[in-house]
Amino acid sequence: MRHAFVFIFLIVLVSCQDIEVLEKEINLGATAVGTQITSIVVANKSTTIVANTTAGAKYSIQVYEFGNSEPVKKVGFTADSEATVKTINLSELPAGMYDLHLIDISGTIIKKPLILN
């Protein structure tokens, strides 16, 4: 019984201590302006995407099976210039219809259809 009392006392004592929260600033990059996909080329189970981006802004390219809500492929990147070219290997995906989403840090989603043969 004495051990239980000591244990509960220690738990109460520790829980009453001030917990120091360290706030770490997260760099979300530049604010994206004018996000747009200008072309998509599919060849040999890879796709090359050309997009208008904002230098310094963070982006995500996500590939979804047509009609599904979970992506089968994700690629994140920070744009280096106003025109970004990204090539994504899709060899692990079977032939079919997919949705390609380009998402910027502001939450803008650009959706394009993607057909793999």
Provide the token pair at 99.
Answer: 């949705």
pLDDT at 30 (0 to 100)? 81
Q: Give the residue with greater pLDDT, 117 vs 76.
A: 76
> CA-to-CA distance for 20 and 5, rounded, in angstroms?
27
Paired residues of 29 in beta bridges: 57
pLDDT digits (tens, 9 = 90+) for 43-53: 888 999 999 99
pLDDT band at residue 22 under the 50/70/90 scheme: low
> CA-to-CA distance for 55 and 34, rounded, in angstroms?
11
Model confidence, pTM = 0.73
> CA-to-CA distance for 55 and 94, rounded, in angstroms?
34
pLDDT digits (tens, 9 = 90+) for 55-109: 999 999 999 998 889 999 999 999 999 999 999 999 999 999 999 999 998 889 9
pLDDT at 7 (0 to 100)? 81
